[in-house]
A and B are shown apart, each in its own frame.
Chain A
Amino acid sequence: MTVAPAPATVRKLDMTRVIKTFPARRRQNPVVAVGPVDLHVDAGELVCIVGTSGCGKSTLLNIAGGLDHATLGGVSVDGEPVIGPGPDRGMVFQGYSLYPWKTVAENVAFGLECQAVTRARRAERVRELLAIMDLTAFADRLPKELSGGMRQRVAIARALAPEPDILLLDEPFGALDAQTKLAMQEFLLLVWQRTAATILMVTHDVEEALFLSQRVYVMHGRPGRVVEVVDVPFGRSRSTIVKRSPKFLDLRDEIQELFRQPTS
């Protein structure tokens, strides 16, 4: 784990002309839910997909994770096609999805167990991640004893443990209160910088997307399509002050205006 970001030209996730349809009901054509969508994430990037609920952004993330399949189009990670879920694409969901019977440390270790990592190496990696996530003091607690923000930190640590090529986050802070959400956003930026992870995140919160990411895919409509790709001009390390800059507010208004457009 190095602090230096990987060269930005290495393509990690590549989704080309991805279409998802739902099977036809009686005497009707198949319903196109998503697409066609083109999307890519380079190594070390933090990219957000922002969209209103029902626009298919989570479906797109699930397709990248291999939990759902594209009807048409190509999805690849490091040039290899995605055919199913795997530990190279760690996922975090809004509902935390922690194993309630496992302690924090055991939750984080699960992915390493599946990889048959030796016990000593596992313990070391868990210790390392808990330190990054500021959870060392809670290693032996059960998830139900933790707050929402802490649970989500455990989920992120668990997804990072098998050293994934890309981290897929599905509205990870959607269930948190405003204050915790803000703290978690800053925390995610910190973790991203410390671990040089590649992250694709889905959110419905425009400010969150702009604050965190280097590029924002704006999805809208039914079928959900990318209506605009916004390059975010702020640096890798940023503080909440960014949120008050005119550029930030302009971009925010611009994206929100897109959501106002009627969908055809």
Chain B
Amino acid sequence: MKIETTKTAATTQLSQKIADSEVLLRDALTEFGRGQIALSFSGAEDVVLIDLVQSLGLQVDIFSLDTGRLPIETYEYLEKVRKHYQQPIELVYPAPEGVEALVKAKGLFSFYQDGHQECCSVRKVQPLRRKLATLDAWITGQRQDQSVTRSEIPPRQLDESFSTDGHELIKFNPLALWTSAEIWQYIRDYQVPYNPLHDQGFISVGCQPCTRAVGPYEHERAGRWWWEEETQKECGLHGQNVIPLTPIS
């Protein structure tokens, strides 16, 4: 009987990425105990983080931001991940009064005219700030190859966006040096459940009105806020990545 193997040179490269990420995750979960650190799950390929943590035999609290505008596929996927990993996922919601005020003043799709920052602030950044105020560290699935705004993120950093004078927050990015191809090789090799939107041409997945499928050879973040300037494509969760725009004259 012939026994198939996963045999590619890429497997060797992936092995090193897995090793580095596992070391970082173990260190992070050693340095910060339960209740001090949590993993932010976006409902996309950062599911690899959950798989890595559990494969080490470790547990980490997981949270996800429910903006109220996520695609139905993402909600279904969150539930699938919860069941697959047999672990709760805390959904963090925007403050109702903030959403009501925004929608009352500007309607449901103001981001197409005014830019996404205002809506993201209400639906993502403020809830995240509230959540992170209870933590000393968080783990994200950011990668350098995702966008120009993320090309220099390190595996570990001081979170300048959400630290305050009295509260220093550490951000771990264990997938920072992984490529998209390596993420997907891991997902295939380890049979990790993934968001079905990826099969429909979505690469970066966010809120339904602000995410679309991308075409061949388009960058993965091209499907996010496609009506805006590339260097400003951060929702504010990772605001320190954004390069400030400077006037030409």
Q: Do A and B come from one complex?
A: no
Hey, which bits of chain A sit against chain B, CB under 8 A?
A: none
Hey, which bits of chain B sit against chain A, CB under 8 A?
A: none
